């Protein structure tokens, strides 16, 4: 991967590809870019080095004056998605505001980390979320078969500790899949195929970054 940080993309869906030996591989198609460099963060001004990328055009009727000025300064049309990518100061030397980055930054065999938002499952109990095994079905038990049990709120400590596993909203969280292999690159169509599934639903926004450790 020639990029030192990463790009934004949109999950298209899952498919399959075939290797030269005839083996079949499940893969996820991601529309990667084109992304525009909207802003550069520098150590002198902001205290760190990063680039802000914009992805997917946004209708001007939905852009306020502050946003319009921000994009006009970069010389680009308003974008719906903005993300910052940290990078080393020396890696930012060849990147300019207004520059367009595309899927040709990736190559087959690259290892990347894919970050997305997992599909939300709504309100769920402790059985579905944390795989609790439940209470007894007999011996006097009633109306507590799928409950979490004691919360420890008797005399001591008299409160529920933070982090207690309880019912609540399930999923819809930021999830990172590490070390995914790039199996196909169609630069002319801004498409990148990665091995296996990635977080999120169809058309969900994902970040593709260089892998921080070995692949799966």
pLDDT tens digits, 146-156? 888 878 777 77
List the chain domain ranges. Answer: 7-107+184-198, 125-166
Claim: this prediction has a pTM higher than 0.95: no
pLDDT of residue 3: 52
Per residue in 104-125, pLDDT (tens digit) is 889 998 999 999 999 999 999 9
pLDDT of residue 214: 66
71: Cα within 13 Å, side-chain hemisphere: 21
* Residue 84: CB atoms within 10 Å: 14
- The correct CATH number of 7-107+184-198 out of 3.40.50.12160, 3.60.9.10, 3.30.160.810, 1.20.1440.120 is 3.30.160.810
pLDDT of residue 53: 93
Structure tokens at 78: 């308003």
pLDDT of residue 129: 92
């Amino acid at each position: 991967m020639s990029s030192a940080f990463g790009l934004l993309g949109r999950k298209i869906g899952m498919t399959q590809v075939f290797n030269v030996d005839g083996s079949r591989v499940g893969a996820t198609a991601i529309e990667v870019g084109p992304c525009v460099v909207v802003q550069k963060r520098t150590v002198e001004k902001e205290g760190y080095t990063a680039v802000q990328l914009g992805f997917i055009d946004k209708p001007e009727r939905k852009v306020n004056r502050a946003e319009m000025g921000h994009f006009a300064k970069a010389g680009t049309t308003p974008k719906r998605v903005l993300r910052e990518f940290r990078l080393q100061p020396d890696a930012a030397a060849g990147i300019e505001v207004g520059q367009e980055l595309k899927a040709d930054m990736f190559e087959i065999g690259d290892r990347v980390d894919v970050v997305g938002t997992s599909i939300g499952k709504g309100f769920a109990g402790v059985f579905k979320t944390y795989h609790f095994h439940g209470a007894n079905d007999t011996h006097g038990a009633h109306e507590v078969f799928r409950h979490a049990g004691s919360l420890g709120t008797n005399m001591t400590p008299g409160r529920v500790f933070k982090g207690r596993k309880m019912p609540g909203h399930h999923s819809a969280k930021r999830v990172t899949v590490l070390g995914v292999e790039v199996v196909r690159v169609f630069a002319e169509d801004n498409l990148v195929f990665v091995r296996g599934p990635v977080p999120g639903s169809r058309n969900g926004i994902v970040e593709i970054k260089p892998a921080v450790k070995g692949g799966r």
